[in-house]
Amino acid sequence: MSILVGKKAPVFASKAVVDGGNIVEDFSLDQFLGKKYVVFFFYPADFTFVCPTEIIAFQKKMQEFDKRDVAVVGCSVDSEFSHWKWLQTEQRDGGIKGVKYPLVADSSNSISENYGVLAGEYDYNEDGETIFKGEAKAYRGLFLIDKEGVVRHQVVNDMPLGRSVDETLRMVDALIFHEKNGEVCPADWHEGDAALKESQDSIANYLAN
């Protein structure tokens, strides 16, 4: 599993479905450089059970992400056609209709592999042929990328374990606060809470309260 925090987010250009139904050919996170933070998250597969709960939960919080200048982008190893079909399916029927943020198609598994979330690996058989060992799906990886394209936070869950959208927003708030004020955010910090300067006196005063 790769640790990408502090490094440039891996670059890609891939097919994606945007605005709930438009297929684009060369979707890239580079379009957000200098403009927006990015929450880039992976999920195992379309037409499953935990995945729509997460995808729809992100959509329900899009106003919160928008007002923080955050682009939300999802990704799985499914094709753009699978994404499109799922996006046209009513939520009462197991679909995700109403989701408007981009869903990237990682049909080659290369994006998942470069971000270190692919559940398996490529190997060779006795005949020297390339084979895949494991499950060719992505773990539930999430990467918070700053406006310079650097990964500042990542979390990876196993497939049965859904993520918290509120925790993602908390991490966005912490990053924005740190960039604006230079102070660091202690455990369970939320917007409006006291922060810390990087000194022993600051830590001592914080713990005393």
Instruction: Tell me the catalytic residues.
Output: 51
Q: Looking at the DSSP assignment, which residues form a beta bridge with residue 155?
A: 142
CA angle 82–45–137, rounded 5-degree value? 120
Q: Cα 100 vs. chain centroid, distance in angstroms?
A: 15
Q: How many CB atoms lie within 10 A of CB 193?
A: 12
| Burial class of residue 79 in the structure, from the number of CB atoms within 10 Å of its CB (0-12 exposed, 13-18 middle, 19+ buried) | middle
Q: Which ranges of the chain would DSSP assign to H, the alpha helix?
A: 50-60, 62-66, 80-88, 110-114, 165-181, 200-208
Confirm if 83 and 176 have CB atoms less than 8 A apart: no
Q: What is the largest CA-CA distance in the chain?
A: 66
Gap between the Cα atoms of 193 and 156, Å rounded: 27
What letter would DSSP give residue 9?
A: P
